[in-house]
Amino acid sequence: MPAVPRVDLYGRPGCHLCDDARAQLLALRAELAFELVEHDIEADDHLLRRYLERIPVIALDGEELFDFFLDEPGLRRRLGTVGDR
């Protein structure tokens, strides 16, 4: 049985772009199977330094795919090929 893909959302409280990306991901998760893991970059100095100027950042199975905005069609395509790896 293939593993469920993991989508990581890096953001912080008060970030409206992060809120938009979260809402898109939650709606997409209602259609496609994936685990959504959210990371508050303010809780980790390394993440804060790495992502502060780029949030939200969305990664699929550890590969960073999108900064600032979620490309929903692009993520749909990538999620559709996860089982093909």
Residue of 36, 35, 37, 41 lying closest to 15 (CA atoms):
41
Which pLDDT belongs to residue 85?
A: 43
DSSP track, 39-84: EEGGG-HHHHHHHTTT-SEEEETTEEEEESS--HHHHHHHHHHGGG
Which pLDDT belongs to residue 58?
A: 98
Complete domains list, the chain, with CATH = 19-84 (3.40.30)
Give this prediction's pTM: 0.90
Q: 33-64 pLDDT, tens per residue? A: 999 999 999 999 999 999 999 999 999 999 99
Average pLDDT over residues 58-73: 96
Checking if the pLDDT of 84 tops 90, the result is no
